[in-house]
Structure 1
Amino acid sequence: MKQETVDPKQDFMDALDELEKDRGINKEIIIDTIEQALLTAYKKNFGSAQNVRVEVDREDGEVRVFSQRRVVDESDLYDTFLEIELADARKIDPSYELGDIIENEVTPKEFGRIAAQTAKQVVVQRIREAEREIVYNEFIEKETEIVTGEIARATSKTVYVNVGKIEASMPESEQIPGEEYKAGQNIKVYILEVKKTNKGPQIVVSRSHPGLVKRLFEKQVEEIYQGIVQIKSVSREAGSRTKIAVQSLDERIDPIGACVGTKGSRVRAVVDELGGEKIDIINYSEDPAEFISASLSPSKVVRVDVNEEEKTALVVVPDYQLSLAIGKSGQNARLAAKLTNWKIDIKSESQIKEEMELKANEEDIEETLVEDIESTSEVAEVEDIDLGTEVDLDSDIEE
């Protein structure tokens, strides 16, 4: 029985066809890259001083090397390796003209082995680059989204999370303070940044970013996903407390109620995912005073005085609500300022009363001082007039 011979060149071309079909790697681009790599390999191994061109046959995969010489006038001939006189060129083919390129095949017998090794290296490299490009394109579209990943390992500073075909990093600054990360644990992470590097795409993920809270609510609250309820702003101190401002585009739907859910089911799911982080949900308002007042929830507010030009606000609260409005270590006030993007000064009613009384007393004192000064001035004027009159009288008597 006659055994079929296997043509390695044809197998190689078939493999390129498969790569183009299965991985979307353009066959022509690979072949062009192989030709450039073979040109470099030829010059390195054979030290040719000639101009050469390497060609890979698109049908059978045969590799050929051609020397190249430019047709020049006899007076312009400088290098016989690179140039040929017009007269000599026309001995080969009468149709040659000045500037034409004459090619001769100079493929070395042992070049096949080098060609095979080079081609393999190029293909492996192109496959690697293509896979990196695919991963990059996949995740660049997911930037600012959340994905579920599995923790690969955790060091003292960085947590590494497998998110599909790539390992993402979560630096210490993007971790929730106090949260434990163990290998094999599944967690939801926010894709903060996708960068293209020479070593492939690098993905940075976060658990502390405010965007994580926003995306979690989008997944839990259908009205947010549909665009009926909008999250206008988020302020967060990861692991402790978050405030979100929401607004409904449909008067029939309560935005806070939609986010809380039946018996608190929706907000509880978000809280559980964040390890018990407290979440305040407030109504957004275009009126700065209303928005600032709501942002200080759960405290009650007596009044809000706003300075639109300086974007500052004075908030007055009942005495017994002052500590609640400010919050532990100033957290509630701090989050409210971030949420509204206003500078907020919080004072109790008694503090405002004392300031007003002090101001009134200062005004009374100032008014009294002005009156005393004016009175003293009047007396001085009168005394000056009387003194002058006496001098004039004495002068008349003497005369």
Structure 2
Amino acid sequence: MNAEFLQALKDLERERGLKTEVLLGVIEAALLSAYRRNFGTVQNARVEIDRNTGECRVLAQRTVVEEVEDPRTQISLEEARQIDPRYQPGDVVETEVTPRDFGRIAAQTAKQVVMQRIKEAERNMIYEAFAGREGDIVTGTVHRVDKQNIYVDLGKAEGVLPASEQIPGERYRQGDKIRAYLLEVRRTSKGPQIVLSRTHPGFLRRLLELEVPELQDGTVELKTMVREPGSRAKIAVYSRDPHVDPLGACVGPRGSRIQAVVNELRGEKIDVVRWDADSSRFIAEALSPAKVTAVEIWEEEKIARVIVPDNQLSLAIGREGQNARLAAKLTGWKIDIKSESQMAEIYSQEYAGYHGEEGGRGEES
């Protein structure tokens, strides 16, 4: 090692933020390990790199004692004072023991240490850059696809879109552009692992915020949302400004805003409903696009019975119960949907039962 090596370290400090003094300390520790490994010594020692010339020296360390028991780690007071009369018992004497061919070992070791530190620094920089973006949308190019995972080139790093985070039915090929939700950044021995998602509700939220300025500035608030990725989603929105229609803001002129989100989600239908503090009205809204006649609620049990016109029953329930299921998740209520004719029959039975009981009591009296 020489002055050019020191200059290279200073250049690394300037370009990559690797502190020269820290690097030199790590190199000295690595050189000490290399010295012990290659020369089989058990004596105390340290390695010193001259900060001006880059010269590398190995210094044996021996403790000053009155009577020497181990000459590899101890030196007599008499011998120490021949070096410097000021030495006292307990002091440490250093003498150079640099092997003849240690320069070659030092150069190799230093190179390995620096390269490892550069790699670690790059990994840390990537981790810090992406860890601060968890919850954001990232854009990349499909790098490769295996049986389950999709690997995405994000520029400085590679992200993985696991099978569990892929929208059912979506297919990607190498070279395709893709947008995804940055779900998590994990530290691993091989560097940061960036986990992506296209099924997370946060992905839908971020897409909406990109398309709807009123969501970004807080005029419209997205109160709650639910998704069945690739199929359907429901979002409940509320406007802080009475002059701003939250539904119109999210849907956009001729449906342009919501359609842009639907296109990104490959056709996933999105119901935008109006959030209401009144549970009955909110439940009715949540069953959109079905029209609701009435809502009966039991607050303590969080159960609601919803009455709809006969021709709206199948729409309210939805295919395989999806609309009712999503509405229940959106509102947090257990929802029982009945048609008007079903309720008429229930009321009729209840009425008949009530009067039957009255008649029975009358006969007894």
TM-score, with normalisation over the residues of structure 2?
A: 0.95
Q: Which residue of 1 aligns with 2:352?
A: 361
State the Cα RMSD in Å. 1.8
Deviating 4+ runs (over 6 angstroms): none
**Equivalent residue of 2:100, what SS?**
coil
Q: CA separation in 2, counterparts of 1:176 and 1:304? A: 34
Change (3 A) 1:329 1:87: same
Per-residue CA distance 1:20-56 (angstroms, 9 max, x = gap): 1011111122111111111110000001120010111
> 2:28 is matched with which residue: 24, 29, 35?
35
Output the amino acid matched with 1:323.
S
Q: Which residue of 2 aligns with 1:83?
A: 74
> 2:44 is matched with which residue: 18, 42, 51?
51
Change (3 A) 1:273 1:88: same
Q: CA separation in 2, counterparts of 1:114 and 1:308? A: 78
Q: CA separation in 2, counterparts of 1:118 and 1:244? A: 59
Superposition pairs for residues 191-230 of structure 1, below 5 Å? 191-230=182-221
Superposition pairs for residues 269-280 of structure 1, below 5 Å? 269-280=260-271
Q: CA separation in 2, counterparts of 1:136 and 1:161? A: 16
Q: Which residue of 2 aligns with 1:323?
A: 314
> 1:138 is matched with which residue: 99, 107, 129?
129
Q: CA deviation at 1:368?
A: 5.3
Q: Does 1:285 align with 2:242?
A: no
> 2:16 is matched with which residue: 23, 30, 40?
23
Q: Does 1:125 align with 2:116?
A: yes
Q: Does 1:114 align with 2:105?
A: yes
**Equivalent residue of 1:301, what SS?**
coil
**Equivalent residue of 1:354, what SS?**
helix
Q: CA separation in 2, counterparts of 1:193 and 1:70? A: 53
Q: CA separation in 2, counterparts of 1:145 and 1:58? A: 45
Change (3 A) 1:73 1:315: farther
Q: CA separation in 1, counterparts of 2:90 and 2:276? A: 76
Q: CA deviation at 1:343?
A: 2.0
Structure 1: give runs of 5+ residues left out of the alignment: 1-7, 376-399
TM-score, with normalisation over the residues of structure 1?
A: 0.87
Larger mean Cα displacement after TM superposition, 84-93 or 160-169: 84-93
Q: CA deviation at 1:204?
A: 0.9
Output the amino acid matched with 1:22.
E
Q: Which residue of 2 aligns with 1:169?
A: 160
Q: CA deviation at 1:234?
A: 1.5
Q: Does 1:102 align with 2:93?
A: yes
> 2:336 is matched with which residue: 339, 345, 352?
345
Output the amino acid matched with 1:232.
K
Q: CA deviation at 1:329?
A: 0.5
Q: CA deviation at 1:367?
A: 5.1
Q: Which residue of 2 aligns with 1:67?
A: 60
Q: Which of 1 and 2 has greater Rg?
A: 1
Output the amino acid matched with 2:38.
N
Per-residue CA distance 1:309-342 (angstroms, 9 max, x = gap): 3322222212211111110001111111222222
Change (3 A) 1:22 1:354: same
Structure 2: give runs of 5+ residues left out of the alignment: none
Per-residue CA distance 1:54-91 (angstroms, 9 max, x = gap): 111222211111111122343xx542211233344333
Larger mean Cα displacement after TM superposition, 229-238 or 110-119: 229-238
Identity among equivalent positions (%) equals 55
> 1:237 is matched with which residue: 228, 231, 243?
228
Output the amino acid matched with 1:293.
A
Per-residue CA distance 1:349-371 (angstroms, 9 max, x = gap): 22223223333334445555566
Change (3 A) 1:356 1:78: farther
Q: CA separation in 2, counterparts of 1:345 and 1:40? A: 73
Q: CA separation in 2, counterparts of 1:162 and 1:117? A: 33
Q: Which residue of 1 aligns with 2:144?
A: 153
Q: CA separation in 1, counterparts of 2:89 and 2:305? A: 87
